[in-house]
Amino acid sequence: MVHIRSFGRRLLPAALALTVGFGISSCEKILDVEPQASLDSAAGLKTPADVQAALRGSYDAIQSANYYGLRYQLFADLAADNARHTGTFPSFAEIANGGILPANVELTNMWNIIYVGINRVNYVIQQADLITDPSFDKNGTIGEARALRAFHYMNLLAYWGGKPEGYGFSDGLGVPLRLTPTTSITGEEIKPKARASEAEVVDAIRADLDFAIANLPVARSTKAYIGKATALALRARLELRLRNYTAASNFASELNTALTGGVRLEGDYGAIFSQKNSSEALWEIPFDAVDPNQLAFFWFPAGAGGRNEVDPATTLGAAHEAGDLRRNVNVVTASTATSIYPTGTTRKYFRISASDDNVVLARGGEVILTWAEAVAQQGHLDSAAVLVNRVRTRAGLAPYAFEAPAPGTDGTVRPHVIVAKTNDAVVAAILKERRVELANEGFRWFDLRRTGLVMATLPAITQDFRILWPIPQREIQNSLELVKQNPGY
């Protein structure tokens, strides 16, 4: 079991974030770096073991309840049409109703923890570069840290960057870009930074992921850590969001070639979540009794030990075709509920007693649908159908077809679902598959954003400026307004 221990909490606003300390707790040695608001650069990381322990500890930010321990992926479904707010938090209600204010505490905390994660890996990168031990895998270590940094910046852009029309436009808005660590509360490094453009942030993300792809092994000894396969999956995800479809399909194809046996799908969709570290998972963040998360607690009803802050949306259940095996995983109804899976929850997060559901951050189902959409957008519709039908077959559904198959020798026609052989029709079918395949995993809002479908899909969003979330007000104030607010707020 791998779990990562946090040694403290940050004291300063996030874009000026000072790392609070690193640590890893597992069967291996724990390196304790003194808890503090900033890292003592004089102490440094002296050995390869120090750097490796700090790198392992840098994953801790992702486990935060303000990141993938709850909020980041939950809000991508709550802001869209996959989840509904059933609880009492006004800050959650703002997100569900499309009326987010700059002072929303959820956004502030989420923004903050992402910059904490960035500062931690910046420190690892800086310190790793100073190690002279010839046995130290410097490039591999730096590559892993840079992939983590790319992941964080991708996630910042996903909510706060781009334009209302989507991502990847020449005048898209970015976020403050920090590529060196803040290790002191004095000097130039502590000064606020203005927002970079979206293009500048994307350039940094690509450079980081490309370095990781060039220097990491395809797979790691544990799915908790990023390897080349995950970096390729993230690169494909990035290019799809940016509407660079040739690049997206190329990276998905490269990943398929790199993996022995190609990109895998677990035979049973539910097993991706009922068991940990399934064969489909490329990157999976572990949680346990030492490092729990709040996912099941926020989904479960009070009578089952939760707070019932969210439920699956009615429209999510309706989005599944008859016979779709994913429906009972994504939406637990009164007719499918058990003592383990109560009504109004999802079977993806169900370990309420220990709060130790793992969170899958990259997996085969997403990669295949990314690949399918990217080739469809290039007009390769037959190839797209082959790919998306892998996912549909696993879900127990008839494959998509552009015309009725020829009857078999017994005169019967095998089951099929007709889709018009046009780019628009095939892409729409793939987006429908993404909605149900990736439900409650943190993709829906970003899919609506990148395809320009937010306002057409969500009646609550009546002003397009709300498609970009507001930069946290505290961040703007603490930067003395050097960090500019998104238009409209």
CATH number for position 93: 1.25.40.390
Please give the pLDDT value at position 13. 41
Q: Is the pLDDT of residue 3 over 80?
A: no
Best CA proximity match to 18, nearest among 39, 45, 35, 44: 39
Residue 198 lies in a domain: yes
Region 301-329: what's the mean pLDDT? 97
How far apart are the C-alpha atoms of 466 and 449, rounded to whole Å? 11
Region 428-445: what's the mean pLDDT? 99
How far apart are the C-alpha atoms of 58 and 62, rounded to whole Å? 8
How far apart are the C-alpha atoms of 343 and 225, rounded to whole Å? 34
Residue 472 lies in a domain: yes
219, 42 in Cβ contact below 8 A? no
pLDDT in tens, 378-413: 999 999 999 999 999 999 999 999 999 888 888 888
Please give the pLDDT value at position 41. 54
Region 138-164: what's the mean pLDDT? 99
Residue 231 lies in a domain: yes
pLDDT category, 276, cuts 50, 70, 90? very high
SS (H, E, C) 206-266: HHHHHHHHHHCCCCCCCCCCCCHHHHHHHHHHHHHHCCCHHHHHHHHHHHHHHCCCCCCCC
Enclosing H/E stretch for 51:
helix 48-58
Tell me the percentage of the chain whose pLDDT exceeds 90: 87
At residue 342, the 3 state secondary structure works out as: coil
At residue 108, the 3 state secondary structure works out as: helix
Which structural domain range is residue 265 located in?
14-273+362-478
Best CA proximity match to 371, nearest among 351, 358, 386: 386
Residue 95 lies in a domain: yes
At residue 161, the 3 state secondary structure works out as: coil
Bridging pattern class, strands 83-85 and 310-312: antiparallel
Residue 460 lies in a domain: yes
Number of domains composing the chain: 1
Q: Is the pLDDT of residue 258 over 50?
A: yes
Region 80-106: what's the mean pLDDT? 98
Neighbour tally for 369: CB within 10 Å: 25
pLDDT in tens, 199-209: 999 999 999 99
Please give the pLDDT value at position 40. 52
Residue 346 lies in a domain: no
pLDDT in tens, 15-63: 434 443 333 233 332 223 333 334 455 568 999 999 999 999 999 999 9
Q: Interhelix angle for 198-215 vs 138-160, to 10°?
A: 150
Residue 320 lies in a domain: no
Please give the pLDDT value at position 42. 57
Neighbour tally for 309: CB within 10 Å: 21
Residue 396 lies in a domain: yes
Please give the pLDDT value at position 29. 28
Region 418-427: what's the mean pLDDT? 97
Q: Is the pLDDT of residue 105 over 90?
A: yes
459: left (phi over 0), alpha (psi -120 to 50) or beta: alpha
